[in-house]
Structure 1
Amino acid sequence: MEPIDTLIQHFRERITLTDHDARYVSECFHVVTLKKKEILLHTGEVSSHMRYIAEGCLRSYYMDEEAREHIIQFGIEGWWVNDLYSYLTRTPAKQFIQALEHSIVLQIHRDTLHQLYDRVPAIERFFRFKFEKAYVALQDRTLNTLSKTAEERYFEFRSKYRDIEQRVPQYMIASYLGMTPEFLSALRKKTTT
């Protein structure tokens, strides 16, 4: 299946698109092929695209003053990845987006997406749903970080994102969960004994 076909199928899981609308939508997205470790978005750039992962695995992260990485999000096939704050406010990104393996991303520029909203109103409904879901996920992650133990966060990550755990290095999972790699390693050993 071609990358654009996976995107159209993804849209059709939530909204109704005629074949004519689907062809128009297909023309609005551009394919970006990334090598492992290639950066899709650099901190300081304004994120002007919505990005759908057709193939591969990516991460978004920021670097603190001591040059430590803090992973904000992982993304795999069928997911969207972005620095939404930069995208929505048109301010410089505070996050990097990097491919963790060979990846294919379909992206659409903000201006083109707004034109698409007018031509295919169902797409606007789709993205409204996506923004709502992103907000809920962010709030859920924030509350989990504040209210759950590291062990509880790890077990929840394992149950929700088993496929990601198999594809991402342990130190990155530790960063995402807000713990050291050593602590995560000890947790993992504890669960296998």
Structure 2
Amino acid sequence: MFEAFKKYILEKANVTEADLEKIEAVCQYKKLRKRQFLLQEGDVWKYNAFIVKGCLRTYTIDDKGTEHILNFAIENWWTGDRESLQTGNPSMYNIDTLEDAEVILITKANFDQLCSTIPAFNDMVNAILQRSFVASQSRIHTFLSLGAEEKYLKFLEKYPQLATRVPQGMIASYLGITAETLSRVRKQTAKNQRSS
């Protein structure tokens, strides 16, 4: 499992073999079955989690039982609850698997230690955090300013690999629209593509 993580790190950071050994020494490996939880609401999140294999989602459930999906994570992406990790407060989110998954977990203390002792790893993490912040801003803008069809098209453009792996109802939840609206938008989009 570490080989996939090593490949990811080497693509993004100029680390030594000794650095990689330090990183590997603190990795915990977890295999999850489809629909298994990585995190449940009310638990404190204690890790940085790298996805080696599979597709996971982060979501909340409101008082009416409606799911609100915050994000998805697939191979070579990170997942977790940053707020719970930083504050030690119980998480308001659930993270579960949409497919069988393999995840590498690094505790906060070990992760912080890696960042302080391996400058290239720290630079990689900062670059990831900056991209994540930009992606969050873009998501908020899309959510607030675009109509259902535009949201869906932007989702397809940005995450083409998710469109075939994630159930349509979950995509609708992620976009903040109903499953019926998404069905209508998909039909309209297909019709527009056939006629152009």
TM surpasses 0.5: yes
Render the CA deviation track for 1:35-73: whole Å, top value 9, x for unaligned: 000000011111110000000100000111112110000
Give the secondary-structure state (helix, strand or coil) at the position aligned to 1:13: helix
Q: Quote how far apart the aligned CAs of 1:149 are.
A: 1.1
Which residue of 94, 97, 111 maps to 1:96? 94
C-alpha RMSD of the superposition: 1.0
- Tell me the SS of whatever aligns to 1:78: coil
The amino acid that maps onto 1:28 is V
Q: How many angstroms apart in 2 are the aligned matches of 1:156 and 1:89?
A: 33
TM-score (norm 1): 0.95
Cα shift at 1:148: 1.1
Q: Which runs of 5+ in 1 are unaligned?
A: none
Q: Which amino acid aligns with 2:84?
A: S
Q: Deviations over 1:23-46 (max 9, x none)?
A: 111111111100000000011111
CA distance in 2, matches of 1:92, 1:111: 18
Tell me, yes or no, if the aligned pair for 2:148 and 2:181 is still in contact at 8 Å: no
Structure 1 runs (4+) greater than 6 angstroms displaced: none
Question: CA-to-partner distance for each residue in 1:93-126, whole Å, 9 max, x for gaps?
Answer: 1111101000000010001111222332222221
Mapping of 1:1-193 within 5 angstroms?
A: 3-193=1-191
Secondary structure at the residue paired with 1:46? coil
Partner deviation per Cα, 1:1-34 (whole Å, 9 max, x = no partner): xx21111111122211111111111111111100
Structure 2 residues not aligned, in runs of 5+: 192-196
Question: In 2, Cα distance between the equivalents of 1:121 and 1:160?
Answer: 30
Distance in 2 separating the partners of 1:51 and 1:186: 36
